[in-house]
Chain A
Amino acid sequence: MTDIAPFIQQSLSYNIFETSLCLLSVGYIVYLVKITLDIDDDEIQ
């Protein structure tokens, strides 16, 4: 079995929290784009 690269091992061991925060931020921005493009003519007067 090939060894996992050391920096990926390091990232797996303690970066779960950081990865989650980054993914949440990306998800938030994508959601903002979605609701911005999702036009309902009656929504804004």
Chain B
Amino acid sequence: MAHKDRDLSPDTYFLITCPVVLFIACMAVIYPDHTANAFTTAAHYIYTLFDWMVLWLPLAILATCLSIAFSKTGKKRLGGKDAKPEYSTFSWLSMLFTAGIGVGIIFYGPLEGLWHFLYSNYSQLPYITASEKASMAMSTSFWLWGVPAWSIYTISAVVIAYFFYFKDGRLNTGSPIRIAFKKHRWCESVARLTMALTIITVSVSLAASLAMAAGQINGGMQSLLADPTLNIAPWILLGLFILYSICSLTPINQGMKKLSDITILTSIVLLLFIFITGPTRYFLMTLVESIGHTVKGTLVQSFNLFIFDESRYWINWFAMSYFIWWVGWTPFMGVFIAKISEGRTLKEMILSSIFVPAGFIFIWFSVFSGFALLDTVKGSGAVAKAAEANYQQTIYALLDLFPFSGITKILLAILFIAFVVTTIVSGCITLGILTSKDGVNPAKPKIFIWGVFMSAIALPFVLSGKIEGIKAVGSIIGFPYMFCFFMTLAALFKALRHDNRQEEKRQNQSTEKPSLEALL
């Protein structure tokens, strides 16, 4: 238990991280244009400089996850041999599934495939047909959002769970470093730095979701009122701020789980509506073909840096920004997955948390991106035109091609509000817990302060409306955290190696015993 006592109090973490996030928030409010530009420029610089280090990372992590799942370690049960799962398999899978869905996939649903179709380096290849471009666009969407991406969250959950359930650590990102490297002088400082960066990363990454949702709701209002010049995004942000503040500070937050379930069900209803009223057979064909292309192409895509291509915009602003963004979300996702998986084996946790959400994302993209591509290649091209004119209009332009668009567009705008409110409320409460005095009960003023910071950081990106800005704010803080993430992975490898050696020693001793007894 000694390692537990050396950690700083959550209150101290608040005092350390608060000024940093406050500084970013103040700059964002006072100089919105400069802040948006600074974030975008810094992100572009990082993407360009470190693509050699990041691009293959998700694939390597996927290989690591699978090797742990199918090794002896995979049979270990979180919480001990006799631990019983806290949630039924259905609830647990639906929670993993819930975690995989947010504002992001609704926002990017129809856009992702279109963007790769129009801008990917693969689509610029000479002699490539529209059909090949569409297949490549779908498999790229699956690669960036699917199995390799979910492996990043899962490995973080494995690290946190392994040290929490088997090494008597805490349910946070600093604990593995503190336990595995305790003989190193730098250990405590690095563990504390990791914790501080976790708090900053979570708060800034959530601001990106907020900016995304405000822009999308504004897009919905433009579409519903048929006024493309309407810009009330800052007011929508203010409305969202009031809404999530009320939800996180009042007992309403107890009902958030229910609201989250309703939101998921509504999004599934929307998915089924498009699936059934749209070209169902085409969606199924897209799903099957894209899975095949993804399996075939992931290895190539994970190592293709397009070194000699004239434009490296796509590799930087898609592959790189997403992967760093996913790393930035790992503290939030890792702790959540580790916490709900008590009583499950590591193998169950790894396989389910990679393949269940990724499977849903495959279906979602096959329907929304698949339809956007069908409309572009063989249809009116209305969705692509809307995406090029104003990307925030894309999903609404898609719904316009289906019956009852007046109802589905309102439903979608409500979905954006519900998704972002549930995400931000749980984020504010998590940050409140991480920085409250006892580290268990979140203090209300702190929940409110984190909420204010998130809206303030989101403001310049809502004002500028640039997609690069949203991606930059989502991934910029994830980059320094990535080095801490590497350290937590090293801690896991060290612990696994140590435990395997101990196991081998025990086995050798037990096999030697009978021969000694026989001699006696």
Residues of B within 8 A of A33 (CB): 490
Q: Is the CB of A43 within 8 A of B493?
A: no
A22 touching B180 in the complex, CB below 8 Å, given contacts A32-B487, A32-B490: no
Question: Which of the residues B179, B182, B493, B499 comes within 8 Å of A36, measured between beta carbons?
Answer: B493
**A18 to B184 CA separation, bound complex (whole angstroms):** 29
Interface residues of B in 482-520 (CB under 8 A from A): 483, 486-487, 489-490, 493-495, 497-499, 501-502
> Measured between C-beta atoms, what is the minimum distance from B83 to chain A in Å?
20
Residues of A within 8 A of B489 (CB): 32
SS class of chain A's interface: helix, strand, loop or mixed? helix
Nearest A residue to B52 via CB reads: A22
Q: Is the CB of B182 within 8 A of A43?
A: yes
Q: Is the CB of A43 within 8 A of B486?
A: no
Q: How many A-B residue pairs have CB under 8 A?
A: 47
Q: Is the CB of B183 within 8 A of A21?
A: no
> Measured between C-beta atoms, what is the minimum distance from B405 to chain A in Å?
49
- B interface footprint on A12-45 (CB within 8 Å = 1, 0 otherwise): 0000001001100100110011011101110111
**A29 to B487 CA separation, bound complex (whole angstroms):** 9
Q: Is the CB of A43 within 8 A of B180?
A: yes
Question: Which of the residues A18, A28, A36 comes within 8 Å of B497, measured between beta carbons?
Answer: A36
Q: Is the CB of A39 within 8 A of B486?
A: no
Q: Is the CB of A43 within 8 A of B483?
A: no
Q: Is the CB of B49 within 8 A of A44?
A: no
> Measured between C-beta atoms, what is the minimum distance from A27 to chain B in Å?
12
Interface residues of B in 192-222 (CB under 8 A from A): none
**A44 to B483 CA separation, bound complex (whole angstroms):** 22
Question: Which of the residues A18, A25, A37, A40 comes within 8 Å of B183, measured between beta carbons?
Answer: A40
> Measured between C-beta atoms, what is the minimum distance from A21 to chain B in Å?
6
Interface residues of B in 444-500 (CB under 8 A from A): 483, 486-487, 489-490, 493-495, 497-499
B128 within 8 A of A: no
A44 touching B486 in the complex, CB below 8 Å, given contacts A18-B49, A35-B184, A36-B493: no
**A32 to B485 CA separation, bound complex (whole angstroms):** 11
Q: Is the CB of A44 within 8 A of B501?
A: no
> Measured between C-beta atoms, what is the minimum distance from A23 to chain B in Å?
12
Q: Is the CB of B179 within 8 A of A28?
A: no
B225 within 8 A of A: no
Question: Which of the residues B180, B184, B490 comes within 8 Å of A44, measured between beta carbons?
Answer: B180
Max chain B CB contacts within 10 Å: which of A39, A41, A44, A45? A44
Q: Is the CB of B53 within 8 A of A25?
A: yes
Nearest A residue to B489 via CB reads: A32
B181 within 8 A of A: yes
Nearest A residue to B497 via CB reads: A39
Interface residues of B in 161-198 (CB under 8 A from A): 167-168, 179-184
B23 within 8 A of A: no
**A41 to B495 CA separation, bound complex (whole angstroms):** 10
Nearest A residue to B163 via CB reads: A44
**A29 to B501 CA separation, bound complex (whole angstroms):** 24
Q: Is the CB of A28 within 8 A of B167?
A: no
**A28 to B520 CA separation, bound complex (whole angstroms):** 54
Nearest B residue to A45 via CB reads: B167
**A32 to B50 CA separation, bound complex (whole angstroms):** 18
Q: Is the CB of A39 within 8 A of B487?
A: no
Q: Is the CB of B167 within 8 A of A44?
A: yes
Residues of A within 8 A of B182 (CB): 43
Nearest B residue to A21 via CB reads: B49
**A1 to B261 CA separation, bound complex (whole angstroms):** 73
Residues of B within 8 A of A29 (CB): 53, 486
Nearest B residue to A43 via CB reads: B183
**A5 to B502 CA separation, bound complex (whole angstroms):** 55
> Measured between C-beta atoms, what is the minimum distance from B478 to chain A in Å?
15
**A37 to B167 CA separation, bound complex (whole angstroms):** 19
Q: Is the CB of A35 within 8 A of B49?
A: no
> Measured between C-beta atoms, what is the minimum distance from A19 to chain B in Å?
10
**A22 to B501 CA separation, bound complex (whole angstroms):** 34
- A interface footprint on B428-457 (CB within 8 Å = 1, 0 otherwise): 000000000000000000000000000000
Residues of B within 8 A of A45 (CB): 167-168, 179
Q: Is the CB of B486 within 8 A of A28?
A: yes
Q: Is the CB of A35 within 8 A of B501?
A: no
Q: Is the CB of B494 within 8 A of A35?
A: yes
Q: Is the CB of A41 within 8 A of B50?
A: no
- A interface footprint on B44-60 (CB within 8 Å = 1, 0 otherwise): 00000110110000000
A-B contact pairs, 18 of them (CB 8 A): A18-B49, A25-B50, A28-B486, A33-B490, A35-B490, A35-B494, A36-B490, A37-B497, A39-B497, A41-B498, A43-B181, A43-B182, A43-B498, A44-B167, A44-B180, A44-B494, A44-B499, A45-B168
Q: Which 8 A-B pairs have the closest CB atoms?
A: A32-B490, A36-B490, A36-B493, A44-B498, A36-B494, A43-B183, A44-B495, A32-B486
Apart from A22-B52, A29-B53, A41-B502, 13 more pairs, CB < 8 Å: A18-B49, A22-B49, A32-B489, A32-B490, A36-B497, A39-B494, A39-B501, A41-B501, A43-B181, A44-B179, A44-B499, A45-B168, A45-B179
